Amino acid sequence: MRTIDSLDVKGRRVLVRADLNVPLDGETITDDGRIRASVPTIRTLLDSGAKVIVCAHLGRPKGSPTPKYSLAPVARRLSELLGEQVAFATDVVGESARATVAALQDGQVALLENLRFEPGEESKDDAVRGAFADKLAALAELYVGDGFGAVHRKHASVYDVPKRLPHAAGGLIVAEVEVLRKLTEDPARPYVVVLGGAKVSDKLGVIANLLSKVDRLLIGGGMAYTFLAAQGHEVGQSLLQEDQLDQVRGFLEEAKTRGVDLVLPVDVLAATEFGPDAPHEVVDATAIPADRQGLDIGPRTRELFASKLADARTVFWNGPMGVFEFDAFAGGTRAVAEALIASEAFTVVGGGDSAAAVRRLGLPEDGFSHISTGGGASLEYLEGKTLPGLAALEDS
């Protein structure tokens, strides 16, 4: 995979596919982590005299302009972080985009409107996607892929455009791939993976692949209740995917066969309802009352998980341990994060809600070896899947 050092960018129009898919409250960005992660590559290109055209998606507008998904707030924040004006095109490949790009001088940057306002971006039809890719590629002379959070998607800006222009990987993608290789190619042991989040079904592939690679697998969050139910325990009103019970029983058996220490919660915070102020109590994970739902791992589980992480040499964590958005149920996620910070292991936070939790809880980002910008992309890489965006960048 070529890096931007291999491109002669001075005076040339460079299309950068970034990942600027940030959470918004109205027009207020509530977590700018992905924008900050995109700045170094953009800064490098600007300092090299390129005319930088940034493209990205936000939310799921389903192929048509939707004001609440406009990238205008992102353009303002990117301007602040770069310390210079970011020109903003009010369309993706239309008149505004062409005029905005034409006006760029060397060392200046523009941001195109949300890629997903164009149906061709996500189309499953190769011809439709290709026609949009032609228009996007026509804006530039070179392409830099730097949106790691989107590389698992076969979208026009990720997969088709690099086939049409000389291309290279940006610094963010290079860093992400380097980290993931450390997790998949002879990781230092003990190798511990912590998985949480709502649904087992979201992580079936990664669990299946990791059982042959890890020493310990710690399961928390909503997905833990399907594992507990698979062992025959009552989980009350907790999140349960009954259609995954047989699959999970298979995982439990395989873990036992392979000698993998698969660790489940021993206690949980069981609440009367789903809400920030819901009355709750600590109960054994094997005896959740029928009218209660688990919303976080309990104090004994926090200690157990911390002890299982204490001697680790490599740790990958993806998914919160509870409903961290509610202060009353954020303690389990905080405990896992703090155990990773205290560890001497190579620690990777696998993007998505885990990265958001680190920032929401006010924890030091430099306390971890790496915080990924791509939750889904990280998981698919660890599943062993070919990621379309990486494959396109690897093509010469």
Residue 145 tokens, joined = 């892929």
**203 annotated among ligand-binding-site residues:** yes
**60 annotated among ligand-binding-site residues:** yes
**205 annotated among ligand-binding-site residues:** no
**246 annotated among ligand-binding-site residues:** no
In the block, which residue shows the tokens 């389990």? 332
DSSP alpha helices (H): ranges in 217-267? 224-230, 245-258
Distance CA 129, CA 132 (A): 5
**300 annotated among ligand-binding-site residues:** no
Which of 298, 283, 217, 294 shows the shortest CA–CA distance to 251?
217
CB 86 within 8 A of CB 111: yes
CB 22 within 8 A of CB 81: no
**378 annotated among ligand-binding-site residues:** no
Give me the active site residues, please. 34, 199, 352, 376
**322 annotated among ligand-binding-site residues:** no
**338 annotated among ligand-binding-site residues:** no
Residues 6 or more apart from 94 whose CB is under 8 A from it? none
**153 annotated among ligand-binding-site residues:** yes
b/e per residue 324-342 (b: at least 16 CB within 10 A):
bebebbbbbbbbbbbbbee
Residue 241 tokens, joined = 């995917």
**57 annotated among ligand-binding-site residues:** yes
**170 annotated among ligand-binding-site residues:** no
**292 annotated among ligand-binding-site residues:** no
**220 annotated among ligand-binding-site residues:** no
Helix 331-342 × helix 299-309 angle, to 10°: 20
What is the identity of the amino acid at 333? Answer: T
Residues 6 or more apart from 324 whose CB is under 8 A from it? 330, 333, 334, 353, 357, 360, 361
What is the number of other CB atoms lying within 10 angstroms of the CB of residue 28? 9
**385 annotated among ligand-binding-site residues:** no
Residues 6 or more apart from 48 whose CB is under 8 A from it? 9, 10
Would you list which residues are annotated within the binding site for substrate?
19-21, 34, 57-60, 116, 153
Would you list which residues are annotated within the binding site?
19-21, 34, 57-60, 116, 153, 203, 294, 325, 351-354
Would you list which residues are annotated within the binding site for ATP?
203, 294, 325, 351-354
